[in-house]
């Protein structure tokens, strides 16, 4: 794993849709939350974009990670964990005491990563993906239907 520098996206840069849509296939949802949140991008020393996350304050002292993605060629190398830790530290820096994240019931790897980083399952938004996503989503051979909500108390 090469060093990754994580820096805040600024509006002079293009919106990194390719990575954003990897984690969330709804462009409409991405366009809704991206301008409201803070996006941080991880890059290699040669500027190659490795991954990103989007953090949004949703309630007093509560932040939600709305999108976290690592380019496919760099997955499984520890970058996602590094981005997640950075997002947690950023939420702390902004006065947060709770960080939330949601993932589909079919997101086996995501559920593993989030729980390894201390997040606990606090609820299930049943039928979330049927309600909000027009196309059926299948991941790991499992229909993605319900949103599993996880929380980390800082």
Ligand X SMILES: CC(C)(COP(=O)(O)OP(=O)(O)OC[C@H]1O[C@@H](n2cnc3c(N)ncnc32)[C@H](O)[C@@H]1OP(=O)(O)O)[C@@H](O)C(=O)NCCC(=O)NCCS
Token reading at 86: 């950075």
User: Does the protein bind ligand X through residue 108 (CB under 6 A)?
Assistant: yes
Choices 4-12, 36-44, 110-118, 126-134; region in contact with ligand X by CB under 6 A = 110-118
Closest distance to ligand X from the beta carbon of 95 (Å): 24
Residue from 16, 42, 96, 107 that binds ligand X (CB under 6 A)? 107
Closest distance to ligand X from the beta carbon of 76 (Å): 5
What is the distance between the alpha carbons of residues 118 and 113, in angstroms, rounded to a whole number? 9
Residue nearest to ligand X (CB): 80
Nearby residues of 122 by Cβ (< 8 Å), 6 or more positions away: 149, 150, 151
Residue from 49, 113, 137, 145 that binds ligand X (CB under 6 A)? 113
Q: Report residue 149: phi and psi, to 5°.
A: -105, 130
Kindly tell me the sign of the dihedral angle through the C-alpha atoms of 6, 27, 128, 138.
negative
Between the two ends of the chain, the Cα-to-Cα distance in Å is 27
Q: Are 53 and 16 in contact (CB under 8 A)?
A: no
Closer residue to ligand X (CB): 11 or 151:
151
What is the distance between the alpha carbons of residues 106 and 137, in angstroms, rounded to a whole number? 9
Closest among 37, 41, 34 to 6, alpha carbons compared: 41
Binding mask 43-72 for ligand X (x = CB under 6 A): -------------------------xxx--
- Residues that contact ligand X, how many (by CB under 6 A): 20
22-41 residues near ligand X, rule: CB under 6 A: 22-23
Residue from 60, 76, 134, 141 that binds ligand X (CB under 6 A)? 76
The contact set with ligand X (CB under 6 A) reads 22-23, 68-70, 75-81, 103, 107-110, 112-113, 116
């Amino acid at each position: 794993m090469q060093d990754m520098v994580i820096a805040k996206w600024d509006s002079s840069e293009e919106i990194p849709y390719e990575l954003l849509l990897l984690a969330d296939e709804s462009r409409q949802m991405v366009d809704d939350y991206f301008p409201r949140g803070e996006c941080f991008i991880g890059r290699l020393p040669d500027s190659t974009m490795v991954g990103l996350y989007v953090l949004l304050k949703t309630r007093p002292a509560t932040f939600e990670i709305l999108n976290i993605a690592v380019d496919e060629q760099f997955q499984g190398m520890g970058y996602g964990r590094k981005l997640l830790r950075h997002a947690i530290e950023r939420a702390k820096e902004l006065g947060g005491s709770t960080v939330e994240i949601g993932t589909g019931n079919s997101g086996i790897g995501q559920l593993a990563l989030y729980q390894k980083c201390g997040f606990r399952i606090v609820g299930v938004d049943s039928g979330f993906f049927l309600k909000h996503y027009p196309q059926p989503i299948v991941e790991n051979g499992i229909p993605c239907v319900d949103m599993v909500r996880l929380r980390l108390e800082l």
